[in-house]
Chains A and B, each alone.
Chain A
Amino acid sequence: MSSALDWLQFVLAPQMVNGLSIGVAVVLMALGLTIIFGLLDVINMAHGEFYAIGAYGAVALIGLGMSFWWALALTPLLMAVLGYVTERGLIQRVFHSKDRHTLTLLLTFGVGIVLEDVLKIVFGANPLRVEAPITGATELVGLFFPNYRLFVMAVGGLLIVAVWVLVFRTSLGAIVRAAAFDRYMSASLGVPISRVYAATFAFGVALAGISGVLLAPIYSVFPTMGRDFVLIAFSVVIIGGMGSIKGAVLAGLLLTQVQSISSLFISPVWNDPLLFGIMVLVLMWRPQGLYGKLGNA
């Protein structure tokens, strides 16, 4: 009996906490993807690279002598500008085309490749490190948890709540939800659709940027760092329901827990097949995912 309790306390609980700290960052990234898809109907294939740019943004700003905290505050703002320019300058140009789904998919895929190469040219291919701004550990129920991971969970949790409040409890959010459901009718009520699209894309990119900064001290920073991470985020969005905020949160936390806990029993090489296997099953039996479109919560 006591060995089972020990296992729960000393093996399972730390693993779940680790999964949770990664989970909130995955959710932030998936929220950006799902909001962009829910409103613009665009699958942003460059989302992983925006995440990587967020991490490199932190590297660059810290390299300029700023503290991690300034980097955490400034990077999302810079990312939002980058997102806004990308939407207005590139996506809007093909958005009204008859083949826009294919065109935006290929366009963002191309943008991702360009951004990844730019990162290689500017920062080199070798992994860089960002020092955690908070060190040490805190004892909770007899276990020690790294303070920085607890910080990531707290900030990520607050940001997720803030996104939910923004989308579902403000007039700005009502505009975005209305535009997601019916852009023609929204426009006829005076909603400046193209600016709402650009601002929402910018917001999604900023969320990817925040994830990049938050996870930079946990993982190494390298040009292709977004690839694996964005695949997890895509699975989360598909399983949660493309365009659903509630779905992204639930699926993000659930999937990262499945990954964390399963690695106690099976080799970590099975993590990805397990994750994508779940995604395939969901696509086969519930293609709409757990929840519906943006606005349905």
Chain B
Amino acid sequence: MLELRDVHSHYGLSHVLQGIHLRVEPGEVVGLFGRNGVGKTTVIKTIAGWVQPTRGEIVFESRILSTMSADQVSRLGIGLVPEDRRIFPGLTVEENLRLGFMQAPGVGRAEQKRKLEKIYQRFGRLAERRDQMGTTLSGGEQQMLAFARVLTGAPKLLLIDEPTEGLAPMIVEELFTLMRELVDEGISIVLVEQNVHAALELTDRFYLVERGQITFSGDAAEAASCAELVERISV
């Protein structure tokens, strides 16, 4: 479904990604683990089209993403739940959600309304706050909004970056339940997560990122049963 072949990225003179190889199969959940600042978020941003790779190739369903803009990438069915949620200030919950329809242009008004109602059924708290400014929601609600917003576009692959950061344990549990539901619905996921123990329960495979390179990859179930390995990939 998605493959990164020898992908390099730079921020100015800084060589952040130094030859990333990565693969995601349909319906699979792949974890990206590693310490802060090793390049996990840059991998996500490079797939999403925020950062143009300086070398290498990104292929999604036989299409080369490497030269595409972020909006083109999103319209192929790659959704992004970014670090820090990035809810738009000055836009209501519903306006934030409606923006998600831009991922799948050509959806008629009736279909949009139906999809929106479905989203509201799934995220009841957002329905209650639909006319409230998105940035006035609590941290957990904003994270739900970030998920709901990308789901209006019916993505095939979700790039999820640090979704549980700074959230209460109860909300974290809710988010993992939501991600399990999405996997059951057939959505593939690339997950960057500091909570490795919880993430290993959700993921099928994982990659360890160190200094802009993949230094280790493996099966999540095997890793979960190996305390030494869990310690190595935990930060």
Contacts and interface: CB of A to CB of B under 8 A. Distances in A.
Contacts of A191: 71, 99, 102
Contacts of A189: 74, 99-100, 102-103, 149-150, 153
B89 A295 contact: yes
B43 to A, nearest CB: 15
Given A174-B95, A295-B90, A192 B82 contact: no
Contacts of B79: 188
Interface in A168-226: 171, 174-175, 177-178, 181-182, 184-194
A187 B103 CA distance: 9
Interface residues of B, number: 30
A189 B86 CA distance: 12
A192 B149 CA distance: 17
A190 B82 contact: no
Identify which of B69, B70, B98, B104 gathers the most chain A CB atoms within 10 Å of its CB.
B70
Contact of A190 (B86, B89, B102): B102
B71 A190 contact: yes
B69 A193 contact: yes
A171 B98 CA distance: 8
Interface in B52-76: 69-71, 73-75
A138 interface: no
A102 interface: no
A133 to B, nearest CB: 39
B105 interface: yes
Interface residues on A, range: 20 to 34
Interface in B24-49: 48-49
Interface in A256-297: 295-297
A188 B80 contact: yes
B71 A177 contact: no
B50 interface: yes
Contacts of A296: 89-90
A174 B98 contact: yes
A159 B71 CA distance: 31
B223 interface: no
Contacts of A188: 48-50, 70-71, 73-74, 79-80, 82
Contact of A178 (B49, B69, B73, B99): B99
Nearest to A185: B86
B131 to A, nearest CB: 13
B69 A177 contact: no
B127 interface: no
A260 B49 CA distance: 52
Nearest to B101: A190
Contacts of A178: 88, 91, 95-96, 99
Contacts of A297: 90
B75 A190 contact: yes
B88 A187 contact: no
B75 to A, nearest CB: 5
A182 B88 contact: yes
Identify which of B73, B79, B102, B153 gathers the most chain A CB atoms within 10 Å of its CB.
B102
Nearest to A177: B90
A185 B69 contact: no
Contact of A181 (B50, B71, B90, B104): B90
Nearest to A297: B90
Interface string A111-125: 000000000000000
B138 to A, nearest CB: 20
11 contacts: A174-B95, A174-B99, A181-B89, A182-B86, A187-B49, A188-B80, A189-B103, A189-B149, A189-B150, A190-B75, A191-B99
Q: Which 10 A-B pairs have the closest CB atoms?
A: A190-B102, A187-B70, A295-B90, A190-B103, A185-B86, A188-B80, A174-B95, A187-B71, A178-B88, A190-B74
Interface of B: 48-50, 69-71, 73-75, 79-80, 82, 86, 88-91, 95-96, 98-105, 149-150, 153
Given A182-B86, A188-B74, 16 more contacts: A171-B95, A174-B99, A178-B95, A178-B96, A181-B90, A184-B50, A185-B80, A188-B49, A188-B71, A189-B99, A189-B100, A189-B153, A190-B100, A191-B99, A193-B69, A193-B71
Interface of A: 171, 174-175, 177-178, 181-182, 184-194, 295-297
